[in-house]
């Protein structure tokens, strides 16, 4: 147990799927897992462990932003000996050619904060995803006929930015924006574990296309199934 997770060590699987929203974690567990049980509810950050294709998997909410996923992913890696975490979430696109519901496999995360330096002694604004996990996602997607985009995700600390963001993203060659991967990847490196991020494009900041909350919920399942199948592949 930790200050933020009251699960027993045996309650958490070696592979974790991590959406930001606890209610989305609940919905995924109900839809895809068998024999699942709620193993954490501290601060209403729900975590569920069950079976998918006979492989034990934990679905765990992360909350929003690097500080939140930083706490939960570090504790899962360090104190629950989790080997793999795949973050799943939504992203805004800085590329006009990315359409709604396209899937983006993050190759590296760009962050402006000092999180990586303070938490992992990594003095860089760019942190790569774990090569093995990234490549496994790409292999599974290819076999399943799922098209993925790859590139750099901006793990923004501020949702409502003061200045105009598109010029900033062009300067740093950023493809999409989300809020968590920079901390997740730093924690994987410092704990010598594996992390990746899969994102579904929910809005395009160039073309101004945007999905509703209900549309996001209903159209993210291809990404979820890709992540689940990847975790099964890792455990075989």
Positions marked active-site: 203
For residue 180, how far is the Cα from the chain centroid?
Answer: 7
What is the CA angle 142-56-148, rounded to 5?
Answer: 20
Contacts of 78 (CB under 8 A, 6+ apart): 191
Contact 18, 62 (CB under 8 A): yes
DSSP-derived secondary structure letter, 214 = H
Nearest Cα to Cα of residue 95 among 153, 37, 49, 32: 153
């Amino acid at each position: 147990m930790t200050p933020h997770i009251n699960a027993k060590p045996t309650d958490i699987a070696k592979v974790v799927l991590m959406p930001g929203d606890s209610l989305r974690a609940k919905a995924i567990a109900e839809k895809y897992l068998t024999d699942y049980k709620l193993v954490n509810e501290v601060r209403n950050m729900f975590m569920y462990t069950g079976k998918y294709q006979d492989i034990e998997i934990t679905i765990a909410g992360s909350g929003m932003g690097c500080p939140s996923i930083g706490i939960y992913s570090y504790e899962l890696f360090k104190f629950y000996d989790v080997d793999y975490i795949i973050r799943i979430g939504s992203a805004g696109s800085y590329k006009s050619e990315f359409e709604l519901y396209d899937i983006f496999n993050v190759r590296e995360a760009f962050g402006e904060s000092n999180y990586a330096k303070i938490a992992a002694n990594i003095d860089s604004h760019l942190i790569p995803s774990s090569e093995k996990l990234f490549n496994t996602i790409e292999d599974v997607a290819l076999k399943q006929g799922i098209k993925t985009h790859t590139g750099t995700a901006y793990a923004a600390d501020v949702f409502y930015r003061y200045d105009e963001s598109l010029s900033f993203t062009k300067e740093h060659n950023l493809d999409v924006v989300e809020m968590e991967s920079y901390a997740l990847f730093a924690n994987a490196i410092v704990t010598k574990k594996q992390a990746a991020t899969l994102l579904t494009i929910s809005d395009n900041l160039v073309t101004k296309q945007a999905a509703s909350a209900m549309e996001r919920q209903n159209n993210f399942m291809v990404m979820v199934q890709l992540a689940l199948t990847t975790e099964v592949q890792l455990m075989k």
